[in-house]
Chains A and B, each alone.
Chain A
Amino acid sequence: MTFRTPLDDACALHRPFGGRISNPREIARQLALSRREFLRSAAGVAVGSTLLHGGTLLAAGPQSKRKVVVITFGGGARDQETFAPEGQANIPNLMRELIPQSAFFTQVINRGILGHYVATASLATGTYETVNNFASLPPESPTVFEYFRKQLKRPASDAWVVAPSNGFNRIGESNHRSFGVGTGARVILPKYLLSAATSGSTDYGHLLRDSYETPLYAPELGGSKFELDQMEGILKLSVDDFKANARNLASPDELSVYVVRRLMQQLAPSLLWVTMHDIDIAHAGAYSLYIEGIRRSDRLCAELWKVIQSEPEYRGKTTMFILPDFGRDADDDSGGNGFQHHRTGDALSRTTWMMALGAGIREGVVFDQPVETIDLVPTLGALMGFSATFSRGKPISALL
């Protein structure tokens, strides 16, 4: 049996336990307003919709030199564990360091399927994809990487994805007939690299965790000679060096960030997409591990921003976007089980946020107007100089 959704608890949708009727649009709006208030009080940022001429607009430099880094704050996190007053302790780096430098969007709606692979594919294509969330399939619509490379005539080395392993190996390019094989981004799956490098050594098990979205289905990782070739040829890393560095890392997302840093140093791609995933341990139901994941993602986002500032190829010409693929179920939605899943499709799980910072971005402003997750790709197109022809989203005018 094959289908294309998050693994629903059928009860969640069909037989609500208790339950109440709410207007999703109103919940999303209230959520956005709350986020603005939280940010205003805690991070001291202005309200963009009324202060469009406030804040400092950072120079973008020539479009042809511009670089973009997209980080999906993977696994989804809720406001109460992040931007709400009781959650802000979990994201000190976002709150104190990154948000004051960013344009922050409080109401980013995902109207698609809330499964991580399919939602990330939707983000990367600018259309709501319906590919099987758990199968190794390419997106059906062209990806941002294909638009970028074809229209700007960029080489394969200029667009990269670093992603968790479960199914994301096909995220780099679509099967759309307008684009051919090998016209998208190259994809690195750090866990496959490590698996290949360590030949399954148990010393690295903590970096090889997988399949949080389906906690009971943990397929064996299949690192191979291809991955080892990637490591030595592209990252310029010996197996021994890679293993030695990996030994000091605490989680798969840390491993991803380590690989991203090497990529930036070795190839300096102009379009770099990083998908984080640690937070999704929440599916196993352990709240403390979910919180640990949020805190780690917060730290890693700040680390990546520091890398951007420290690398000459990136400093001053890079725009960084951070956004979750979607949220998680609300505590008061009787169809779900709170933070554990994203199965109900309620307003909280569909309403997320996005921050943009760096070159060409007005810093320290908050925008309340609703945008959609599929608006990211056409926005990137407008910033970098390509047209996302098949995207269903719209460029976000506040960023242009």
Chain B
Amino acid sequence: MVPADLKSESFHGYAPEAQKLAVEYLGALRRLPLAFLSGLLREIIDYDFRFPAERKTIERELSNLNSLSAAQTKDWFEGFAEVQLSSKLEQFDWVNAPAQFLEQLSAHLWTTHQLDRFRAAALAYAERLREAVPPEAPVVPRLGIAVIGAGADAAPEPLFRKLRSHGAYFTNVQPENGMSDLLEAIAARANAHPLPYGHWYIDGGQELPHPSGITCVSYQGLEPARTALLRRIQQETKKAGMGPEALRTIMAQMQPVDLGMSASEDPVLDRFKTKVLTEGSGTQIFSTSFAQWTAREAWRRAQPVTVLVRFAPRQRQKPMNELLLPNSQSPELDPVGSLMDADMGAYYNWLNQQRLSGSTQSMFIAWFENHNEAVAISPLLPRGTESSAAAKLPQLLSWMS
């Protein structure tokens, strides 16, 4: 089957809203090369479970595609059209299983040395789309907060080295009530700008009490799901013929119910949590990896205006086989290693925030929990500076906006 053969009935397997969307833009979809279309269908097929910002992005992209003339479409997708696909790929059920198709397409691109060409086409398209459909500015400058180092007495190496040049480094932060002050600050933003999935609190340990209106995901909160997942991995890996690729495919198809999550009022968030555990690497075993990846995915997918991520100590490294065993005992922790993980995680959190619209106005703060060090980045703070002024975190936040 080729894209030109698509019909309304082709999308009968899609969830209701996804089906409606695909049918509405059927004409545009038919004109696209398969190498590109499969990626778009992967977004559309999960439309019913996507965050509002993602939905809007897909709709705007489809609307733009619909507006292109035949000649423009040819011009925009020339790079993708040049990608040579195998007949096996063309015969794959890419309409109903676009994610699995993409895995096979990726393999094909690597083995046929077409990856670079595809990559160039994808980046060129993204750039062109950004020009044609500029991302909407956030309703308020985005604020990212990373709290690192819980449980660590001291840092083995200087902290925030990658962030300092972008903002002001504070060496005399008064740490008392720091976490509760930060939670209050994001609660105030949530009250002032109530947005669905617009304000997040991600905790790499046990989540602290927080007000409603904030989307919260925590490592401890997902402990039953992680245990269920590890148990399932144990079962699957014992099966004959199982390998890493087959396991990955199985995990990518898992639903919240497969991880023991009972139906909640928020299937979109449940699906997000499931994907963090089934698609993230290391999120199941290391809380620092979980916190970093969850924050990245929250920024990328929900495009919120506030993200507070708190890193907690991860378990100490053990043989991978042991790490993958569901274990009811409290694991031995590695607070210092976790601090280093989180220091890099904070930097990545800032990078991911800066990939969104409004980056020139956005604000970011990283703080060594219960200690005196923090770095604050904002258009109002001088870059690459250092301050020994005594200040509490709310004061730092006030200097940023």
Against A, the Cβ 8 Å flags (1 = close, 0 = not) of B114-137 are: 011011101110110000000000
| From B244, B285, B319, B334, contact of A217 by CB (8 A) | B244
Chain A neighbourhood of B104, CB < 8 A: 1, 3
Q: Which of B2-56 contact A (CB under 8 A)?
A: 38-39, 42-43
Instruction: Establish whether residues B111 and A113, one from each chain, have CB atoms under 8 Å apart when the complex forms.
Output: yes
Closest chain B residue to A204, Cβ basis:
B319
Complex formed: what's the CA distance from A4 to B113 in Å? 12
Check if A18 is an interface residue, CB within 8 A of chain B. yes
Are B355's CB and A17's CB within 8 A?
A: yes
Query: B293 to A285, Cβ gap below 8 A?
Result: yes
Which residues of B have CB within 8 Å of A19? 123, 126-127, 355
Report if B385 contacts A (CB, 8 A). no
A13 to B116, CA, bound (A): 10
**Interface hits, B224-267 → A, CB 8 Å:** 233, 237, 242-249, 251
Chain B neighbourhood of A55, CB < 8 A: none
Is the Cβ of A10 less than 8 Å from the Cβ of B106?
Answer: yes
The residues of A that contact B42 with a CB separation of less than 8 Å are: 10, 14-15
Interface-located stretch among A95-103, A237-245, A338-346: A338-346
Q: Which of B119, B348, B355 contacts A337 (CB 8 A)?
A: B348
B321 x A208 contact (CB < 8 A): yes
> What residues of A have a CB within 8 angstroms of the CB of B110 in the complex?
4-6, 113-114, 130, 345
Asked if A288 CB lies within 8 Å of chain B CBs, one says yes
A285 near B319 with CB under 8 A, answer: no
B319 in contact with A208 (CB, 8 Å): yes
A7-B248, A135-B243, A210-B320 known; A20 vs B39 contact (CB < 8 Å): no
Most buried by B among A130, A341, A344: A130
Docked-complex contact A288 and B337, CB < 8 angstroms = yes
**Which positions 1-41 of chain A face chain B at CB distance < 8 Å?**
1-10, 13-21, 24
Q: How many residues of chain B have a CB within 8 Å of chain A?
A: 77
Give the residues in chain B near A220, CB-CB below 8 Å: 321
Main SS at interface, chain B: helix
B320–A211 touching, CB < 8 Å: yes
Tell me if A303 is interfacial: C-beta within 8 Å of chain B. Answer: no
Question: A13 contacts B109, CB within 8 Å?
Answer: yes
Residues of B within 8 A of A114 (CB): 110
Overall SS of chain A's interface: loop
List the B residue with the shortest CB-CB distance to A345.
B115
Query: In the complex, what's the smallest C-beta–C-beta distance from A278 to chain B, in angstroms?
Result: 11
- CB of B107 within 8 A of chain A? yes
Query: Which residue, of B106, B108, B124, has the highest number of chain A Cβ atoms within 10 A?
Result: B106
Residues of B within 8 A of A286 (CB): 282, 286, 288-289, 314, 317, 337, 341
In the bound complex, how far is the Cα of B79 from the Cα of A21, in angstroms?
14
Whether, in the assembled complex, A212 has its beta carbon less than 8 Å from a beta carbon of chain B, the answer is yes
Chain A positions within 8 Å of B356 at CB level: 18
B124, A10: Cβ atoms closer than 8 Å: no
User: A111 near B: Cβ within 8 Å?
Assistant: yes
Contacts of A10 in B (CB 8 A): 39, 42, 99, 102-103, 106
* Beta-carbon nearest neighbor of B334 in chain A: A288
Alpha-carbon separation in the docked complex, A334 to B118 (Å): 15
**Closest Cβ–Cβ distance, residue A310 to chain B (whole Å):** 32
* Contact of B306 with A by CB under 8 A: no
Q: Is the CB of A16 within 8 A of B123?
A: yes
B279, CB-defined interface residue at 8 Å: yes
Q: Mark A142-167, 1 if CB is under 8 A from B, else 0.
A: 00000000000000000000000000
Most chain B C-beta atoms within 10 Å of own C-beta, residue among A14, A112, A285: A285
Shortest Cβ-Cβ A-B pairs, 6 listed: A285-B289, A18-B355, A3-B107, A14-B39, A214-B244, A285-B282
Which A residues have a C-beta under 8 Å from some C-beta of B?
1-10, 13-21, 24, 86, 111-114, 128, 130, 134-135, 205-206, 208-220, 281, 283-289, 291, 331-332, 334-335, 337-341, 344-346
**B residues with CB within 8 A of A:** 38-39, 42-43, 99-100, 102-104, 106-111, 113, 115-116, 118-120, 122-124, 126-127, 161, 233, 237, 242-249, 251, 279-286, 288-289, 292-293, 296, 300, 314, 317-322, 324, 334, 336-341, 343-345, 347-348, 351-352, 354-356
14 more A-B residue pairs beyond the given contacts A214-B244, A216-B284, A289-B317, with a C-beta to C-beta distance below 8 A: A2-B245, A4-B110, A10-B39, A15-B39, A19-B127, A21-B123, A205-B319, A209-B319, A210-B321, A286-B289, A286-B314, A287-B340, A331-B347, A338-B351
Subset of 18 A-B contacts with CB under 8 Å: A1-B103, A1-B246, A1-B249, A2-B243, A3-B106, A3-B107, A13-B106, A13-B122, A14-B38, A14-B102, A21-B120, A128-B113, A134-B243, A208-B319, A218-B319, A285-B289, A337-B293, A345-B116
